[in-house]
Amino acid sequence: MESVNVGIIGCGQFSSYHIRELCKFPDVRLVAVCSRNKENALKSVELIHEHGKKQRPEKIAIYTDYHEMVRFPAIDAVTVCTPPPAHAQPMIAAAKAGKHVFCEGPMAVDLEQCDAMIATARSQRIRFTVQHTNRFNKNVYMAKKTLSDGLLGKVLMAKMDFIAPSGLRPEDHIAHVHWRLSKQGSGGGILFHAGRYAIDTFLWLMGDVHEVYGKMESFSHGSEVEDCASATLNFSNGAIGQMFLMGLAPPGVLRSPFYQIEILATKAVLTVIPEWSVKSDNEDFTYELNEKLSLESSGPCDGWASQLRDWIDAIKAGKEPLFPCESFRSQVELARALYKSVAINVPVQLPLQKDDSFYSF
Ligand SMILES: NC(=O)c1ccc[n+]([C@@H]2O[C@H](COP(=O)([O-])OP(=O)(O)OC[C@H]3O[C@@H](n4cnc5c(N)ncnc54)[C@H](OP(=O)(O)O)[C@@H]3O)[C@@H](O)[C@H]2O)c1
């Protein structure tokens, strides 16, 4: 396959990032857009014409129904840019039609939907990935390798803090659409919006969780989703974890999220984000780990662009994307387990079983 023909489903705010980025790839053609409101679809067509000059899109098909769009034979793949509760249905329809799928995050709002999406992707043998671009970050990539190689010794504790400057107050610009502040519309608050990246990265580094106990609140007037959450985690590797997420930094205090991941192990303390730092009393060991980072940092480390590139390369080569689609389910499972823990005010064991009322939304 020389070039990949892509269609966009859901023409809102974030689809414009997909369009701008995909238009940079010489081996991608944006050939169709779909939004229930044709005006939104037409705006996306304009954007493709503006940014896709090199790709010379001859004609861009416009749909208002994704069922029709996925039957369009000229499309090889779609990106799904609808709100979280509307990810599963178009993804599954596209996969059943044999189209590869790049889905916006979170994967879905519950585990029933995630499992149906994964099962369809596997049975249809399509390339399916979910936008969690923090995994395509140099420090995260190296930390994962450092942990997998056992270089830190036994991991004892890990801590993640995430404070978003805005997003979950009715007056925030990103909350322009009411779905973000309603449970039905979004699936959840900070755990499903800005904080989902941080949770996904934390779990990707630390592995499976077997128990979680949490607290959360919705402090913002006019919002029914959580804007603050904290949790204590027990990881399957024996380590204890702590996460602290907030979507309500005082106005003007932060221009970008405050985000930190720290791992405390028997041989060293590793800060992964915001800056890579190794603290140990063994200078040779510290030097070796820092050297390793600079020497082996040739991985896919360009965030958003790297993940889209990885997906397109996987389609062209008929291979798996770098991260298996199953791995993106963990963030949704942890969020659902945390909601359960808050609802019943006790620690909750993972995995959540299919007959658990928190398995489905
Ligand atoms: N905005 C960001 O900064 C950001 C960042 C990272 C990830 N994301 C993710 O990207 C996805 C889209 O977010 P967005 O900010 O682009 O949202 P948005 O501006 O509301 O756009 C979503 C579009 O999807 C269409 N749509 C299709 N089915 C829908 C349904 N059942 N309910 C409502 N709209 C529906 C709507 O267009 P029609 O009405 O024309 O169908 C709408 O324009 C979400 O999953 C979000 O989590 C967004």
Task: Specify the DSSP element, H or E, that contains 17.
Answer: helix 15-22
pLDDT at 148 (0 to 100): 92
| Domain extents in the chain | 4-133+305-323, 134-301+331-344
* Residue owning the nearest CA to atom 2 of ligand 1: 14
CA distance linking residue 212 with residue 199, whole number of Å: 13
pLDDT at 179 (0 to 100): 84
Ligand 1 pocket test target in 8, 9, 14, 21 with most atoms within 8 Å of CB: 14
Average pLDDT by consecutive 10-residue portion of the chain (361 residues)?
A: 94 95 94 97 95 73 98 97 97 98 97 98 98 91 91 96 79 65 90 94 97 94 88 98 91 86 96 92 86 67 87 97 97 98 98 98 91
Ligand 1 pocket test target in 69, 82, 166, 191 with most atoms within 8 Å of CB: 82
Cβ of 40 below 6 Å from ligand 1: yes
pLDDT digit string, tens, across residues 319-341: 999 999 999 999 999 999 999 99
pLDDT at 297 (0 to 100): 60
pLDDT at 171 (0 to 100): 66
CA of 191 to the centre of ligand 1 (A): 17
Q: What is the CATH number of domain 134-301+331-344?
A: 3.30.360.10
Q: What's the length of the chain?
A: 361
Residue 322 DSSP label: S
The reply to whether domains 4-133+305-323 and 134-301+331-344 share a CATH topology is no
CA distance linking residue 122 with residue 291, whole number of Å: 39
CA of 108 to the centre of ligand 1 (A): 13
CA of 224 to the centre of ligand 1 (A): 19
CA of 10 to the centre of ligand 1 (A): 6
Residue 186 CA: nearest ligand 1 atom is: 47
User: For the CA atoms of 13, 304, 117, 192, what is the dihedral angle to 10 degrees?
Assistant: -60
CA distance linking residue 64 with residue 38, whole number of Å: 6
Residue type, 266: T
pLDDT at 221 (0 to 100): 75
Residue type, 289: L
Cβ of 10 below 6 Å from ligand 1: yes
Cβ of 227 below 6 Å from ligand 1: no
Question: CA-CA distances (angstroms) from residue 344 to 25, 74, 213, 279, 340?
Answer: 49, 50, 10, 39, 6
CA distance linking residue 115 with residue 359, whole number of Å: 10
pLDDT at 237 (0 to 100): 96
Residue 156 φ/ψ, nearest 5 degrees = -100, -45
pLDDT at 205 (0 to 100): 97
Residue 174 CA: nearest ligand 1 atom is: 1
pLDDT at 300 (0 to 100): 65
pLDDT at 302 (0 to 100): 74
* Residue owning the nearest CA to atom 25 of ligand 1: 10
CA distance linking residue 305 with residue 322, whole number of Å: 14
Q: Which CATH number fits domain 4-133+305-323: 3.40.50.720, 3.40.50.880, 3.30.1490.20, 3.40.50.300?
A: 3.40.50.720
Cβ of 17 below 6 Å from ligand 1: no
Residue 10 CA: nearest ligand 1 atom is: 24
pLDDT at 174 (0 to 100): 59
pLDDT at 253 (0 to 100): 81
* Residue owning the nearest CA to atom 1 of ligand 1: 14
250 burial (CB, 10 Å; 0-12 / 13-18 / 19+) is exposed
Sheet with 228-235: list strands edge to edge. 277-279, 269-273, 258-265, 155-163, 240-246, 228-235, 209-217, 348-349
pLDDT at 167 (0 to 100): 63
Within 8 A by CB and 6+ apart from 348, the residues are: 211, 212, 213, 337, 338, 340, 341
Cβ of 104 below 6 Å from ligand 1: yes
